[in-house]
Amino acid sequence: MSRPLAPELFASLDPLALAGSRCTACATVQFPAARQCAHCAAEDPAPITLPAQGRIWTWTIQRFEPKAPYLAPADGFLPYAVGYVDLGEVLVESLLQCSDGEPAIGAEVHLVRATAPGGHFTYAFAR
């Protein structure tokens, strides 16, 4: 089993879950987990596990190969979908996997592993 590209993004690998944080002062939820709240600057937000199900809030398709620091797959660049996924308390930016055509705002998606550079994996949300 490959390893996560950025282990700190995950609260759990089985079942797969993202690690966020909730401010103990103002309740703002962030991803990735933060050492300081971006809303009120309070220190040491509490670590939380984010929901693995959500809805697409917005999306696009990246149709040209980005410049560095992007690393294309070993077998060449392919256009990929990205978007924000509404997890209730927070919108998380993510790669999207839609086997049945284009993403759509409001579509239900769930957390999955996605191939990342160096044989590692990252997170994505899939329909």
Contacting positions for another protein (CB under 8 A):
5-6, 8-9, 20, 28-32, 38-39, 57-64, 66-71, 80, 82-84, 86, 88-93, 95, 102, 105, 114, 116-117, 122
> Residue 88 CB, nearest distance to another protein (Å)?
7
- Reduced to 3 states, what is the DSSP secondary structure of residue 124? strand
From the CB of 126, what's the least distance to another protein, in Å? 15
Which CB atom, from 82 or from 126, has the smaller least distance to another protein? 82
Complete DSSP assignment for 14-82: TTEEEEEEE-TTT--EESS--SB-TTT--B-PEEEEPPSEEEEEEEEEE-SPPPTT----TT----EEE
Closer by beta carbon to another protein, 13 or else 61: 61
